[in-house]
Amino acid sequence: MRADLIVCGLGPAGRAVAHRALAAGRPVTVIDSRPDRVWTPTYAAWADELPAWLDPTVIAATVEAPTAWALREHRIERTYQVFDTAALQRSLTLDGARVLADTAIEVGQDVVTTASGLRCTGQVVDARGLARAPERAEQTAYGVIVDRAALEPGQPVLFMDWRRDNGAGPDEPPSFLYAVPLGPGTLLFEETCLAGRPALTPAVLRARLTQRLRARGITLTGTEPVERVRFPVQGGRSGGGRFGAAGALTHPATGYSVAASLSAADTVAAGNTLWTTQARAVLALRRAGLRALLALAPAEVPVFFDAFFALPARHQRAYLSGHDLAGTTAAMRAVFAAVPPRLRRTVATSVLGLTGR
């Protein structure tokens, strides 16, 4: 069976590229084991990362300047947006695509073989996501969705809050609170282990979240809807037709990939590569940044993020989004210069690959 573009995997990455290829008039075949799977995670992104073509009604909440707490409070001068996940999925229409509910068994750059015995040829985009594996650091989180009516007004929007009012001991791996609106009526409070190998368990995160919220005057009833997060932040390979998490678009320091996939969809749908020499160098630097993060002692983590969130917004943006090599290097140098000497040694040795995993 010959197709023009074959997209394996209908997560945010595959669906975005299929949608944009269809919009550009390319015949598209999509293959997913469960093409009708409804996405349920709460996705969010920085507003400046999102492509102009995205339907604005997919945004459920916009925060002009979220807060980060490390050793002190930082105002992040960057607009943050939370998706209406169902609306995002619906907006990435697949009208006109041939949709195969099948499992891709062998995926090459121009041929796919499926479990049902189909052999499809054409330009292949492999967006099958990333499987969990013991050698891959993971992000885990435990969140609850709370009605605003049950809360005091004026709850802060917290991109990351590393304060220790969650009951974690000084030598235990830290976790942070993520607190964002899901719309006008609800807030998500999520205790998050940014990256761990192994990552903190849901039970630990749940206990920390309960304690932290209680310390802030919020008592959970136990009936709140729950969101559980667990996915690899390491792995994925650039190039070779891979895209999304499979294609190394997961940011190693945040776990985010959805906005990167949306904004790169047109490039990939047009058959072009994302992976310039500069983009590969940025990926290598960010992976080194994750090695440093994994090597930090628990008490050093907030020190590191304090230096990061003190950076000008343009440095933060360069490190977190896109593939700006000069900006990424400048951000890393600025953090390095700002942290104390002991932490600098840890960062230097892990960035250079002398220690760390």
* Piece of the chain touching ligand FAD by CB under 6 A; list 2-10, 67-75, 90-98, 155-163: 2-10
Tell me how many helices (H) and strands (E) the chain has: 9, 16
> Which is nearer to ligand FAD, 30 or 331 (by Cβ)?
30
Give me the helix-helix angle, 341-351 and 300-309, nearest 10°.
90
32 binds ligand FAD (CB under 6 A): yes
User: 300-309 vs 313-320: helix axis angle to the nearest 10?
Assistant: 120
252 sits near ligand FAD (criterion: CB under 6 A): no
Helices 313-320 & 325-338, crossing angle to 10 degrees? 120
Q: Which of 227, 281, 298, 324 binds ligand FAD (CB under 6 A)?
A: 227
Binding mask 124-153 for ligand FAD (x = CB under 6 A): ---xxx------------------------
State the nearest-atom distance from the C-beta of 261 to ligand FAD, in Å: 6
Tell which one of 25, 34, 38, 337 touches ligand FAD (CB under 6 A): 34
**DSSP per position, 48-110:** GGS-TTS-GGGEEEEESS-EEESSSEEE--S-EEEE-HHHHHHHS--TT-EEEE--EEEE-SS
Stretch that binds ligand FAD, among 52-60, 72-80, 240-248, 267-275 (CB under 6 A): 240-248
Contact flag: residue 42 with ligand FAD (CB under 6 A): yes
Binding piece for ligand FAD, criterion CB under 6 A, among 39-47, 65-73, 205-213, 271-279: 39-47
256 binds ligand FAD (CB under 6 A): yes
Q: Is residue 282 involved in binding ligand FAD (CB under 6 A)?
A: no
Nearest to 236 by CA among 225, 227, 249, 253: 249
Can you tell me the distance from the alpha carbon of 249 to that of 258, in angstroms, rounded to the nearest whole number?
8
In the chain, the DSSP E strands lie at 2-8, 28-32, 44-46, 59-63, 67-69, 73-75, 80-83, 98-101, 104-107, 111-114, 119-126, 138-147, 158-161, 176-181, 186-196, 226-232
Rounded to a whole number of angstroms, the minimum distance from the CB of residue 1 to ligand FAD is: 16
Cα–Cα distance between 211 and 330 in angstroms, integer?
38
Residue 335 in contact with ligand FAD, rule: CB under 6 A: no
CB of 207 to ligand FAD, least distance (A): 19
Report how far apart, in Å, the C-alpha atoms of 6 and of each of 37, 100, 158, 243, 275 are.
Answer: 19, 10, 40, 12, 20
Q: Does 12 bind ligand FAD (CB under 6 A)?
A: yes
- CB 16 → ligand FAD: shortest distance, Å? 8
CB 194 to ligand FAD: min, Å: 12
Binding-site size for ligand FAD (CB under 6 A) equals 33
Considering only 67, 79, 103, 238, the residue that binds ligand FAD (CB under 6 A) is 103
Contact call for residues 315 and 337 (beta carbons, < 8 A): no
Say whether residue 181 binds ligand FAD (CB under 6 A). no
What distance, in Å, lies between the first and last C-alpha atoms of the chain? 43
* Of positions 244, 252, 327, 356, contacts ligand FAD by CB under 6 A: 244
Nearest to 92 by CA among 168, 25, 179, 22: 22
Nearer to ligand FAD, 2 or 228 (CB): 228
**In this structure, which amino acid lies at residue 344?**
R
Per rule CB under 6 A, is residue 7 in the interface with ligand FAD? no
Decide: 105 and 115 in contact? Cβ < 8 Å: yes
Q: Which one among 13, 88, 213, 292 touches ligand FAD, defined by CB under 6 A?
A: 13
Residues that bind ligand FAD (CB under 6 A): 8-14, 31-34, 37, 41-44, 103-104, 127-129, 227, 229, 231, 244-246, 250, 255-259
